[in-house]
A and B are shown apart, each in its own frame.
Chain A
Amino acid sequence: MSGFMVFKLPSFKILILFMTGIFMGKYLGGQAYAYWVTGFGLVSLGISLLLYRLGKKPAFNILIALSLTFLLMGYYHIRQIKPSNHLSQKNEVFVAFYGKVISYPKLKTKKSRFSHCKKQLLETPFQRQEYLIEAKEVQLRSGEIKTVTGTILVKSKSLGRKLVQQIEAESFERFVLKKLSKDSAHRIVLNCYQKDSKQRYYKLKHGLKYDAVHKLHEVIESIGDGSPLLYKEIEMGDWVTIQSKARSIQGIKPCPQFDYREYLSHAGIDYISYPNSSAWITLAEVSHLNGIEKWAKNSREHLIGLYNRWLPDQERDLIKGLILGAKEGLSEETLESFQRSGISHILAVSGLHVALIGAYLYFWGYSGFPRNIYSSLSV
């Protein structure tokens, strides 16, 4: 089919129609696309009913399915629209964030700096301490005055090579946070990085989902600043509490080439924070991963261990980038030469990897086993 004939494909027409709707929704302001989808669903429903009345059953069947999908998607997106709240009006707030680390903490500096950083973390004096939250009167968001007391015992212990610090005593804070964790799916997207080579302490950049900020605002108001300061190697699956100043993304100036505000908003992040050394990071619960997550984590660690053992530095970092998409180990020169030669895309985990695994399965089909099984597995 020639390229010009593409315009005649019905799927292309639907796609263009849908894209137009999204553009309209975006530039009409707010979350209009959600209402556009719903509107489109309603129109399709009307047309399908008309077709039913005219006796065109096959067309009716297709359109009714389409309209129901549109309506469901509209409903889904309308539900995603966030209610206005006093937090979103403020540019900067001091809050506690509680959530699960869902992405691998990434370090944007070289490996040597990481190990230096890690060493410092291990030397942290917070090995075993008891913190007492004195009877304290705090005003809740609802206006109610509440007295808060509690004790938190912090103990660190070594599990294998890693230092794991755990809060052992059932504290008031932990009780509240645990309860909160059951009520909603909080999410923290967390990246660890070192700001520059001179600063030795560990820094965190974290983006938070709106609901986590919203619900935990009350917690920090009731607890005040009684949490202990803890450092550990943060891992995927850990539940952490971070207390720091958060800045609303509304304050970020849009840039024509890359709109960071839009990017964060698209990722479901409403606040960003760049805690300084006084930011408080508390490990609430050590990683509780489900079976698949655990398998993925172990496989990743197994692969990294394997390449660490058998390959020299530069090549090892490159293969990690190729296989796992982990670019942080690559030197700036290598990254720049990849960008200049237009091959940066090979560092992204993409369909190529899926295709290779599929190809393995497909070719094993020749070894006597029923090929249909392997073909369907590879698909």
Chain B
Amino acid sequence: MFYSGAIVVVLDRDRHYLNALFLSGIIILFYDPLSLFTLGFQLSFLATLGILLYFTRFNDCLLNFLKYKELRESVLPLRLNLILSWLVRRMISLLALTLTAQILIGPLLVYHFGGYSLISIVSNIFIVVLAQGAVALALFIALVSFSNYLIDIYSASLLAILKSLIGLSDYLSHLPFAYINFGEIGGWIFWIYYPLLLAVLHFKGILSWLGHEIMIYQKGLS
């Protein structure tokens, strides 16, 4: 996916990332067809597909729902307002990102692990940010490893991040309904969930497509 995306960017095509995703899918399956049946491939492919398809839509919906625009017109000082706006925008986009990824991989997780983490939608917003910070800082520590003084400073910050990551994860996992156990579920879940999802998210599209087909059919009759 990464390389296909890079090729698309380097060649400066119309940057249709869906094409890059499908191209990477084709390349991976060319190389190893049986990876289609591995959980890693299924999860990463579906999560990316979900993000590419629905992220913008979900992001806009959430912004409208939370009336984010009103925040800009608040009476707060301009600089504070800007920072707050950036934070809210970032949080909403993270929420939309998690939702769009989870919406397609949900049934896969239920099928393979017999349960689903409801809290993951919230935890991913905070913990992924913390994990990103921790990884970036840990790699940076490796770069400044020549100086004990610098390591001391950065490792203290890293320790704080890691401690809060562990604490937060522990707290969230113990909340009621954080994780729902479904037990053993058969393959029927896919046959119900995905058509239903498609129908809900693309109701208008399906209707217009059907209308178009009917119109062509009627024209043919006349």
B44 to chain A, nearest CB (A): 8
Q: Is A15 positioned at the interface, with any CB of B under 8 Å from its CB? A: yes
- In the complex, are the beta carbons of A15 and B25 less than 8 A apart? yes
Q: Could you say which of A1, A256, A302 contacts B18, with CB atoms under 8 Å apart? A: A1
Chain B residues, CB < 8 A from A77: 33
B134 contacts partner chain A, Cβ-Cβ < 8 Å: yes
Contacts of B10 on A, CB cut-off 8 Å? 376, 379
Report the Cα distance A243→B31, complex, angstroms.
33
> In the bound complex, what is the Cα–Cα distance between A99 and B134 (angstroms)?
37
A257 to B128, CA, bound (A): 28
Considering the complex, give the chain A residue whose CB is closest to the CB of B184: A257
Residue of A nearest to B155 (CB): A310
Q: By the criterion CB–CB under 8 Å, are B166 and A314 in contact?
A: yes
Q: Which residues of B contact A353 (CB under 8 A)?
A: 135
Residues of chain B contacted by A11 (CB below 8 angstroms):
18-19, 22-23, 26
Complex partner residue of A315 from B37, B114, B163, CB under 8 angstroms: B163
Interface stretch (choices B70-78, B201-209, B214-222): B201-209
The answer to whether B170 has its CB under 8 Å from any CB of chain A is yes
With an 8 A cutoff between CB atoms, is A9 at the interface?
yes
Report if A92 contacts B (CB, 8 A): no
In the complex, which residues of chain B have a beta carbon less than 8 angstroms from the beta carbon of A354? Answer: 2
Interchain CA distance A376-B6 in the complex, whole Å: 9
Distance between Cα atoms of A227 and B143 in the complex (Å):
46
Chain A residues with CB below 8 A from B127, complex form: 341, 343, 346
Q: How many residues of A sit at the interface, in one of the four size bands?
A: 35 or more
The answer on a CB contact under 8 Å between A257 and B138 is: no
Instruction: Select one of B18, B30, B186 contacting A12, CB under 8 A.
Output: B18
Cα distance A344–B151 in the bound complex, in angstroms: 28
Asked if B22 contacts A3 (CB within 8 A), the reply is no
Q: How far is the CB of A151 from chain B (nearest CB, A)?
A: 45
Q: Is A85 an interface residue (CB 8 A)?
A: no
Residues of A within 8 A of B139 (CB): 323, 356-357, 360
- B20-60: which have CB < 8 Å to A? 22-23, 25-26, 29-31, 33-38, 53-54
A residues near B173, Cβ cutoff 8 Å: 336-338, 340-341
- Cβ of A37 < 8 Å from any Cβ of B? yes
CB A137 to nearest CB in B, in angstroms, measures 44
Min C-beta distance of B169 to chain A, whole Å: 5
Contact A343 B53, beta carbon cutoff 8 Å: no
- Whether B145 pairs with A306 at a CB distance below 8 angstroms is yes
Residues of A within 8 A of B54 (CB): 3
Instruction: Report yes or no: A343 in contact with B111, Cβ–Cβ below 8 A.
Output: no
Interface of B is mostly: helix
For window 112-138 of B, CB contacts with A under 8 Å fall at 112, 114, 117, 119-121, 123-124, 127-128, 131-132, 134-136, 138
Are A352's CB and B29's CB within 8 A? no
Smallest CB–CB gap between B203 and chain A, Å? 10
Cα of A5 to Cα of B209 in the assembled complex, Å: 10
In contact, B155 and A356 (Cβ under 8 angstroms): no
Complex Cα distance, B87 from A45, in Å, reads 55
Chain A residue with the shortest CB-CB distance to B162: A315
Number of interface residues of B (CB under 8 A): 68
B134 touches A319 (CB 8 A): yes
Instruction: List residues of chain B with CB within 8 A of the CB of A258.
Output: 112
Cβ of A351 within 8 Å of any chain B Cβ, yes or no, is: yes
Query: Which single residue of chain B is at the shortest CB-CB distance from A359?
Result: B136
Chain A residues with CB below 8 A from B36, complex form: 19, 22-23
What separation, in Å, do the CA atoms of A73 and B29 have in the docked complex? 10
Contacting pair B131 A322 (CB below 8 A): yes
In the complex, A114 has a CB within 8 A of chain B: no
Determine the chain B residues whose CB is within 8 A of the CB of A337 once the complex forms.
Answer: 169-170, 173-174
Pair B37/A262 contact, Cβ less than 8 Å: yes
Identity of the chain B residue whose Cβ is nearest the Cβ of A312 in the assembled complex: B159
- B165 close to A (CB within 8 Å): yes
In the bound complex, CA of A350 to CA of B81 (Å): 35
A215 CB to nearest B CB, Å = 24
Is B205 within 8 A of A9, CB to CB?
A: no
CB of B117 within 8 A of CB of A3, answer no
Question: What sequence of 0s and 1s flags, for each residue 302-313 of chain A, a beta carbon within 8 Å of any chain B beta carbon?
Answer: 110011001110
Known: A73-B30, A302-B142, A339-B117. 7 other contacts (CB 8 A): A4-B205, A315-B162, A319-B158, A319-B162, A323-B135, A343-B127, A376-B10
13 contacts between A and B (CB under 8 A): A3-B53, A11-B19, A11-B26, A15-B26, A22-B33, A22-B36, A73-B31, A258-B112, A262-B37, A338-B173, A340-B178, A343-B169, A346-B127
Interface residues of A (CB under 8 A from B): 1-6, 9, 11-12, 14-15, 18-19, 22-23, 25-26, 33, 37, 69, 73, 77, 256-258, 262-263, 266, 302-303, 306-307, 310-312, 314-315, 318-319, 322-323, 334, 336-343, 346, 351-354, 356-357, 360, 376, 379
Query: Which residues of B are at the interface with A, using a C-beta cutoff of 8 A?
Result: 1-2, 6, 9-10, 16, 18-19, 22-23, 25-26, 29-31, 33-38, 53-54, 111-112, 114, 117, 119-121, 123-124, 127-128, 131-132, 134-136, 138-139, 141-142, 145, 151-152, 155, 158-159, 162-163, 165-166, 169-170, 172-174, 178-179, 184, 186, 198, 201-202, 205-206, 209
The 7 closest A-B pairs by CB, nearest first: A342-B120, A342-B117, A4-B205, A11-B22, A340-B173, A337-B173, A315-B162
